[in-house]
Structure 1
Amino acid sequence: MKSDSRRQGVMDFLMEAGTASVEDLAARFGVSKMTVHRDLDELEESGFLRKVRGGASIQPSGLFESDFRYRQKQAVGEKQRLAAAAVAMIEPGQTVIIDDGSTAGGIAADLADLRPLTVISNNLAVIQDLAGVGGITLIALGGQYSKKFHGFFGLLAEETLKSLRADVAFLSSSAIHGSSAFHQDQEVVQTKRLMMAAAGRKYLLVDHGKFGRTALHFLTDLTAFDAVFTGSELGQPVRDELEATGVSLTIVDGKE
């Protein structure tokens, strides 16, 4: 197995297990402990995991939870419900912005019935899903690719967003503390803010597990969104507190 494929395999395994010992990884991938240590050193340097005594871990930390592969596997059912509900905010012929978030990115799978549409995104998963789809005019934001966030960021993406205007934007955030949204990466925050500025209507899609958490950088107050979509798993006390501050909550029921 080539080193890149093996390291991807290590990350995939850690996404499921949370932690693993060097011995287990060496046996799993049929390599020496020395090779495993080299793999873990490189992955740690890239910010994907942290080495611990005798192995590696990706929990618990907002830094490691920000990895796109980790986020894709969290609250999958709830995220699908949120994306399906949010699509009702779109009408054929509109221009839609979708950010790098795994929750907002889930909207792409539900856009076929709303064609024609123009979709603007820096989310590589969205770009790959919609590339070549009939009736979808796709504007892929350029910039520097981030493996961690599986999207494009930086000056090129930011300058492009400043020159565009959309009907609606769908965003995600990694943490909701009080009535504010936060994110751990300042460059991602800047891109999300420009997406909000470029759109007439703005919606935030966050699963219930994001509430009561915080991250390093303030993104925006939740009142900046026309609606915040979340699952019915969110406790009633939290709902009441948010609505008391003027946040427009859209609760998506999980019942069939």
Structure 2
Amino acid sequence: MSLTYEDRRMTILNHLEMEGKVQVHHLSELLTVSTETVRRDLDRLEKEGKLRKVYGGAVKMRMEMVEPPFLNRVQMMKPEKAAIGKLAASLVQDGETIMLDNGTTTIEIVPFLNDKTNVTLITNSIPILNLAMETFRGRIIFAGGEVNQECRAVTGTLTDQLLDQFKVNKTFISASGISLTDGITDFHLAEAVISRKMMQRAEECILIADHSKFGLSTFARVAKLEEISMVITDAGCPKEWVDTIEELGIEVRISE
């Protein structure tokens, strides 16, 4: 019995959610329908605002093609980010050295580190530095370099070289997008480079991201999903994503 449009629609959107993009020929084989039928389905879904057609297939519709300013992003998904930050901070042990990249989720770790006086925090983020100077009682190392005013962080060769001097216990990285096809991505190449360097200098790398980041791909790749050891997200993360990440051998923790 042939699949109805609603059945095909659900399959297409599920694949789009996981992969970030779909291809006409692959869908044709998967659904056992002609490529013409798949193209008509994609036309309908584009009119519904569910995807954007591209040559040979379609990609997930994104509300933002460029990253909103840092101060605006701080307010987005704030309860979820705070819960993720609390769970992430609970993993930091006495005597450890950690790195935090520049992000509105990683900054939420800092308030929950205030009782960890024997921890060293390394960051390239100016907002994280400012907050840590107010609330954190451990050791702070700022990975200085060229100030990127758009990102509100320091990036570039000097920052990269300074980070090379350290070996840390844990690195916590944020993401603008997470997809199976493109892995962990960022809007800014300079920030992606620094996040990747932080991963390379850590014994354990932990990705922290709210559920809105899953299924998206942005400009610059930070790393493959398989290069991290743990994902911390919120309860809004789809079960399909949790199951898929765990199948890759990556631990998933859900904040309360």
Query: Which position in structure 1 is the counterpart of 2:223?
Result: 220
Query: For the residues of structure 2 that align with 1:216 and 1:248, how far apart are their CA atoms?
Result: 26
Assess if the C-alpha contact under 8 Å between 1:223 and 1:248 holds in 2: no
Counterpart residue identity of residue 238, structure 1? W
> Is 1:233–2:236 an aligned residue pair?
yes
Question: Is 1:207 matched up with 2:219?
Answer: no
Conserved in 1, the CA contact under 8 Å of 2:88 and 2:109? Answer: yes
User: 1:235 and 1:132, CA in 2 relative to 1: closer, same or farther beyond 3 A?
Assistant: closer
Contact 2:163 2:201 in 1 (8 A): yes
1:115 Cα deviation (Å)? 1.2
Residue 170, structure 1, aligned to residue 149, structure 2: no
* Number of residue pairs matched by the alignment: 194
- The residue that corresponds to 1:47 in the other structure is none
- Of the three residues 102, 105, 113, the one matched with 2:104 is 102
Q: Distance in 2 between matches of 1:242 and 1:199?
A: 21
Give the equivalent residue in structure 2 for 1:139: 141
Counterpart AA for 1:247:
I
Whole-angstrom CA distance in 1 between matches of 2:208 and 2:65: 18
Equivalents in 1 of 2:233, 2:65: separation in Å? 20
**Does the aligned pair in 2 maintain the 1:100–1:151 contact within 8 Å?**
yes
Pairing 1:182-201 to 2, within 5 Å after superposition: 182-201=185-204
The answer as to whether partners of 1:95 and 1:120 remain within 8 angstroms in 2 is yes
Instruction: Read off the aligned partner of 1:151 and give its amino acid letter.
Output: A
TM-score (norm 1): 0.71
Q: Does structure 2 conserve the Cα–Cα contact (< 8 Å) formed by 1:62 and 1:184?
A: no
**CA RMSD for the aligned pairs?**
1.7
Q: Does 1:63 align with 2:66?
A: yes
Q: CA deviation at 1:171?
A: 0.7
Secondary structure of 1:64's counterpart equals coil
Separation in 1, partners of 2:161, 2:90 = 29
| 1:45-60 correspondence to structure 2 within 5 Å | 60=63
Separation in 2, partners of 1:135, 1:77: 24
* Whole-angstrom distance in 2 between the partners of 1:132 and 1:103: 18
Q: Quick check: 1:76 aligned with 2:78?
A: yes
Residue pair 1:222, 1:228 contacting (<8 A) in 2 also: no
Instruction: Tell me how far 1:154 sits from its aligned partner.
Output: 0.8
Moved over 4 A (4+): none
Q: 1:195 offset after TM fit, Å?
A: 0.4
Higher relative contact order at CA 8 Å, sep ≥6: structure 1 or structure 2? 2
Measured in 2, the distance between the counterparts of 1:92 and 1:216 equals 37
Q: Say which SS state the counterpart of residue 102 (structure 1) adopts.
A: coil
Could you tell me how far 1:103 is from its partner in structure 2?
Answer: 0.3
Match of 2:94 among 92, 95, 100: 92
Identity %, equivalent residues:
22
Task: Map 1:117-128 onto structure 2 (within 5 A).
Answer: 117-128=119-130
Unaligned runs of 5+ in 2: 1-61
Structure 1: unaligned runs, 5 residues or longer: 1-58
For 1:100, what is the secondary structure of its paired residue? coil
Report SS of the residue matched to 1:202: strand
Amino acid at match of 1:62: M
Q: CA deviation at 1:64?
A: 3.1
CA–CA separation in structure 2 for the residues paired with 1:208 and 1:135: 31
